[in-house]
Amino acid sequence: MSGAASPGAPRSGIRFDGVTVAYHGNVVLDSLDLTVEPGEVMALLGPSGSGKTTALRAVAGFVQPVRGRVFIGDRDVTRLPPHQRGIGMVVQQYALFPHMRVEDNVAFGLKAQKVPKGQIPGRVTEALAMTGMDSYAKRYPRELSGGQQQRVAIARALAIRPGVLLLDEPLSALDAQLRSGMLSELARLHRELPDVSILYVTHDQVEALTLADRIAVMDQSRLRDCGTPQDLYRRPRTEFTASFVGNANLLPVRVGSGSVLFGGTELAVATDEAVWGATATLCVRPHLVGLGPGPNALRGKVAEVQWRGSTHRLYVDVAGHRVKADVRELRATPALGDEVTLHFAREDAVLLAAGVGGE
Amino acid sequence: MLVHSRGGRWATWTVFFALFLPVFALPLLVIVAASFATNWSGAFPSGFTTGHYGAATTGDSLQALTTSLVTALTASVLALTVGAWAALAAAALKKGGRRFMDALFVLPVAVPSVVVGLAVLVAFSKPPVLLNGTRWIVILAHTVLVMAFAYQSVSAAILRLDPMYEQAAASLGARPLLVLWRVKLPLLLPSLTAAAGLCFALSMGELSATMMLYPPDWTPLPVQIFAITDRGSLFTGAAVAVVLMATTLLVLLGVSRIRTKASFR
């Protein structure tokens, strides 16, 4: 496989060094420090307005930071115009040039970078083949489906063999089925191009968990958390991460030794770093909460039952808090108002010191 | 369709034609009828002839047609080039600068064309730039008059153009000039041709400023029509008017064909 990054091309990562972006005095990205290692897939995960797209656009050169620097490899690109940055970019709406055939779209970057004429057709075919679009070279973008257009857009970005690939919600415009197909496609592309660093902006935790080597969680213009998907999912460090990644139950508790107190019930959890007597937040994933008696039992009233095919989602009011539980499809579903018992294992709960990740 | 019932639709069409026909179509039909007549004393013209068209397509009138075509084409191309350039430049400016440009380019429309004609006459009748008495003063005045429309339609199209195309091109390593040439201008082509058609049609029919400026060897068709009818040859004047109308329509038709080819979505 002669991938996008040619053998001699420098392996370049991305580094944000205190990058702040503001529009008309309105801060949309607040002193971001983040390093994407060469060859790493970093997902910027967050709700809309969290600053994640702004961070990507700062790398592309479409927004100018008011403070801080952006590095691609060892190069400080903060003041460079976009066309000198050597990046590949794919956006949600594909942005294929509608007046050019697929092959001309892909050749555009090669011509712009003055690749010798003789090499262009070969590189166009190679890039299109990578995304399985080589038989559509003569089509116009309007003759392709959304998924096909996105493949061409990816081929176009890879044809110039960038060291850094920026993906801005690349799958958001596709329907669910196509999305999971493209997701594995992107994973395959990255296996084939191990030297390309990828910055992947998304609001979809499944995409981030599936693709990323590390995830940077963003909220309200700030970086809240950063770590491997497993790390963030199993041991979230902030309440925001816990609820945004995996939609966890967050229960206010008072810390004892080896246990916490939740609404009068004593629950056995690891309390290593927590201060005795302090208030803290207990984080339990809904799918790790079981129905029926067991250790760490919680009694409450059923407030809502949702059938989700293979699972049932129960909302149970326990001591004034609504606890979510995803359980295997039930033969007999509890009625609203029924008193039920929930439980979870000691090792499935994570204790977050109160206020962490808040302000 | 807003009106659903059959009766309602009928009524709408009837009202439309009752208003449309007398205001738009009838005057044009009258001109066409007059161009084939030798006499019009009753309600309808009489004495059918095609003789006026002989006069309308030879000699001075033919000369005037060529003059008008050359003037309109040159003025349109100039106005489009300068107008589009200015619109592209204005789009890159901050809000204040853009407002200033918008106001500047609306001036030729806001000011009566007679005044524009007079202004051009006064400005270019003395050295250093002496254009009075040459065809260039007519072309210049037409350019100034139609440029406002070129600027406005291209400006509006630039505003509608999604910046993502430009950004995609830049991220692929294209310099601004290449982005303009290979991406922005092709995407603006439908609006550019529409603007060109508008400029051409306006210039073909321009009379008031032209009257103040035209030299004897550069008489555009509207001036010719005015002169002929002023002399009392109403039917010949009508025939020349039909020639003007037909030529303009033909060119606009050609332009709209290019436009259809150039629109992608």
Q: Within 13 A of A86's CA, how many CA atoms are on the CB side? A: 21
| A54: pLDDT strictly greater than 60 | yes
Residue with tokens 């018992």: A341
Domain boundaries, chain B: 1-37+44-48, 53-262
The minimal CB distance from B168 to the residues A61, A85, A89 is found for: A89
User: What is the bridge-based pairing of β-strands A197-202 and A214-219?
Assistant: unpaired
How far off is chain B from A71, nearest CA to CA, in Å?
16
Give residue-wise pLDDT tens across range A207-258.
Answer: 999 899 999 999 999 999 899 999 888 888 888 888 888 888 999 998 888 8
Q: For the stretch A141-177, what's the b/e string if a residue is b when 16 or more beta carbons lie within 10 angstroms of its beta carbon?
A: beebeebbbbbbbbbbbbbbbbbbbbbbbbbebbeee
Report chain A residues whose CB lies below 8 A from the CB of B160.
none
Task: Kindly list the residues of chain A whose beta carbon comes within 8 Å of any beta carbon in chain B.
Answer: 60-62, 81-89, 91, 93, 95-99, 108-109, 112-113, 140, 142, 156-157, 160, 166
- The average pLDDT across B180-193 equals 88
CB contact under 8 A, B170 and A97: no
Q: Which of A263, A250, A265 is nearest to A351 (CA)?
A: A250
**Over pLDDT 70: what percentage of chain A?**
95
How far off is chain A from B160, nearest CA to CA, in Å?
15
Spatial separation of the C-alpha atoms in residues A152 and A92, rounded to whole Å: 13
How far off is chain B from A109, nearest CA to CA, in Å?
5
CB contact under 8 A, A108 and B182: yes
The minimal CB distance from A160 to the residues B170, B173, B186 is found for: B173
B126 touches chain A (CB under 8 A): no
Q: Which amino acid type is present at position A11?
A: R
Q: Which range among A100-109, A175-184, A274-283, B120-129 shows the weakest confidence by mean pLDDT?
A: B120-129
Report chain A residues whose CB lies below 8 A from the CB of B168.
89, 91, 95-97
- pLDDT of the residue at A246: 81
Spatial separation of the C-alpha atoms in residues B192 and A229, rounded to whole Å: 51
B160 touches chain A (CB under 8 A): no
Give residue-wise pLDDT tens across range B190-223.
Answer: 888 888 888 898 888 888 888 888 888 888 888 8
Give residue-wise pLDDT tens across range A312-332.
Answer: 999 999 988 899 999 998 888
- pLDDT of the residue at B264: 58
The CATH number assigned to the domain with range B53-262 reads 1.10.3720.10
Q: Which amino acid type is present at position B45?
A: P
How far off is chain A from B94, nearest CA to CA, in Å?
13
For A56, counting Cβ atoms within 10 Å of its Cβ (0-12 exposed, 13-18 middle, 19+ buried), the class is buried
Give residue-wise pLDDT tens across range A191-208.
Answer: 988 889 999 999 988 899
Residue from A62, A113, A199 whose CB has the most chain B CBs within 10 Å, to mutate: A62
Angle of CA points B56, B57, B59, to nearest 5°: 90
Report chain A residues whose CB lies below 8 A from the CB of B170.
61, 81-83
Beta bridge partner(s), residue A91: A168
Spatial separation of the C-alpha atoms in residues A45 and A216, rounded to whole Å: 6
Q: Which residue has the higher pLDDT, B85 or B260?
A: B85
Q: Which residue has the higher pLDDT, A174 or A341?
A: A341
**pLDDT confidence bin for B232, thresholds 50/70/90:** confident
Give residue-wise pLDDT tens across range B94-116.
Answer: 888 888 888 888 888 888 888 88
- The average pLDDT across B31-55 equals 74
The minimal CB distance from B168 to the residues A84, A95, A113 is found for: A95
CB contact under 8 A, B173 and A140: no
Spatial separation of the C-alpha atoms in residues B72 and B143, rounded to whole Å: 9
Quote the mean pLDDT of chain B: 83
- pLDDT of the residue at B260: 66
Q: Where are the beta strands (DSSP E) in chain A?
A: 14-23, 26-36, 41-45, 67-72, 75-76, 87-91, 164-168, 197-202, 214-219, 222-227, 249-255, 259-262, 265-268, 279-284, 290-291, 298-307, 311-318, 321-328, 339-343, 349-353
Q: Which letter does DSSP use for residue A143 in this model?
A: G
**Over pLDDT 70: what percentage of chain B?**
95
Domains, chain A, with CATH or none: 14-234 (3.40.50.300), 247-353 (2.40.50.140)
Q: Which of A354, A347, A333 is nearest to A258 (CA)?
A: A347
How far off is chain A from B264, nearest CA to CA, in Å?
6
Spatial separation of the C-alpha atoms in residues B220 and B222, rounded to whole Å: 6
| B30: pLDDT strictly greater than 90 | no
| A1: pLDDT strictly greater than 80 | no
- The average pLDDT across B11-29 equals 84
| A6: pLDDT strictly greater than 60 | no
pTM for the model: 0.79
Residue from B94, B172, B187 whose CB has the most chain A CBs within 10 Å, to mutate: B172
CB contact under 8 A, B174 and A112: yes
The minimal CB distance from A112 to the residues B165, B178, B187 is found for: B178
| A128: pLDDT strictly greater than 80 | yes
- pLDDT of the residue at A116: 92
| B262: pLDDT strictly greater than 80 | no
The minimal CB distance from A83 to the residues B170, B182, B264 is found for: B170
Q: Which residue has the higher pLDDT, B154 or A272?
A: B154
The minimal CB distance from B171 to the residues A82, A140, A142 is found for: A82
CB contact under 8 A, A112 and B172: yes
Angle of CA points B53, B56, B57, to nearest 5°: 90
B263 touches chain A (CB under 8 A): no
- pLDDT of the residue at A82: 92
CB contact under 8 A, B167 and A166: no
> Are residues B173 and A109 in contact, defined by beta-carbon separation less than 8 angstroms?
yes
Angle between helices B221-230 and B234-262 (to 10 degrees): 160
Chain B residues 176-215 with a CB less than 8 Å from chain A: 176, 178, 182-183, 186-187, 189
